[in-house]
Amino acid sequence: MTEFKRHRRLRNSVTMRSFVRETELKTDDLVYPLFVVEGENVKNEVSSMPGVFQISLDYLDDEVEELLKLGIPSVLLFGVPKEKDELGSGAYDPQGIVQKAIRQIKQKTSDLLIIADTCLCEYTSHGHCGVIHNGDVDNDASLPLHVKTAVTQAQAGADIIAPSNMMDGFVKEIRQGLDESGFEHIPVMSYAVKYASAFYGPFRDAADSTPQFGDRKTYQMDPANRLEAMREAQSDIEEGADFLIVKPALSYMDIIRDVKNTHPVPVVAYNVSGEYSMVKAASLNGWVDEQAIVLEKLTSMKRAGADIIITYFAKDAAKWLQQK
């Protein structure tokens, strides 16, 4: 009589493994980031992100149609303006590129949730996420501009406001600004736990948002810190956040689990550009099975506690899940 446990009994067939599977990745879990640019007939592939494009509004309807056919429920919009200035005024221009994109999508369909990234970095000439005073981002002077951005996005028809600037008090100010403007029903998806990460490099090519001096370490978090993430998340919950984003995802699974265990709101993992590009590069070189590794990676993010996953792999993943 053996005295060890027979764990393999529950792995002995495809059907058995599926029957006892604890975590199931679904297309409904996915959000696809989109980069919209000013101009016409623009569809530029991002050199460091194969398969990801900057598109002008005349390509937007086709993109939306593809997402709807794939069953992807939501899109995260980033804008790339032609003109930038010190205060990032294009971010809160009612006729700004993101505001136009929101209205265009809403005219086409009500079946796609529109998440508006609310930040200034793509719109400022210096590439930082707020107003610069004495060589640094002035936290309190920046907040009114983020509020104006959120309100114009809501006025355009955004379903969810996603502020990513990491200013202290940004959720409180944006929540109050939305409420005072009649948008009490619009939720805030806070980039609550956003690390100053080396994984963001390719995104800055896509969004044209590289800082022109210094870095963002005075407002984004130190990758070495775990308890600080809990403080940031708690502050945002107290200030009115409806979702909490952890960014990046792959190297921060412990943080995703901590946030999920601590806060009873939907947790969002952002599978960021560097995480995407590393897999793409390895796949293009024939070093990894892209489909297998992407689905494993996304499943692991959900297993760690993510309810929603923002990923540049959303379209590919949706196709692979349909095939399964």
Catalytic sites, residue numbers: 194, 247
Q: What are phi and psi of 80, to 5 degrees?
A: -125, 100
**Residue (of 76, 71, 111, 24) closest to 318 by Cα position:** 71
188 within 8 A of 242, measured Cβ to Cβ? yes
- Give the tokens for residue 109: 């369909």
Q: Cα 263–265–269 angle (5° rounding)? A: 90
